[in-house]
Amino acid sequence: MKQAILQVFPPKKDSQGSITHKESQALSNISGKAKDSLKRIEGFEQLGDYAWLCPLETGLHAISEIVCLADLGGLSYRVAFMDNELQWMTYDKNEVNS
């Protein structure tokens, strides 16, 4: 299954520690769209703050919506496309001590 990793970069804060209303609204809308996608798209996973793993077959529309929201808010982002499913090697520190 083909997948993509999408990462949106939060804007840099100004000298008062603030971001613009437009940027704040974009981040809020992106978070809402991602939360919805996490619930309804199998294989859509959050990797970190504003970073997601998404199956292209079922989640391409969600990726495009998040990218549009980032564009509208003036936020930077990047997308990495993978031809094969990402293979995770899991390490659980709790199992080592057992």
Strand partners, 22: none
Question: Which residue range is the domain that position 50 belongs to?
Answer: 3-96
Residue 23: the pLDDT is 95
Span 51-61, mean pLDDT?
A: 95
Number of domains in the chain: 1
Round to whole Å and give the CA distance between 11 and 70: 11
CA distances from 25 to 22, 52, 64, 88 (A): 5, 19, 18, 33
pLDDT in tens, 3-50: 999 999 999 988 888 999 999 999 999 999 999 999 999 999 999 999
> Is pLDDT at 51 greater than 90 in this prediction?
yes
pLDDT at 98: 52
Q: What is the CATH number of the domain that holds 16?
A: 3.30.70
- Mean pLDDT, residues 56-74: 96
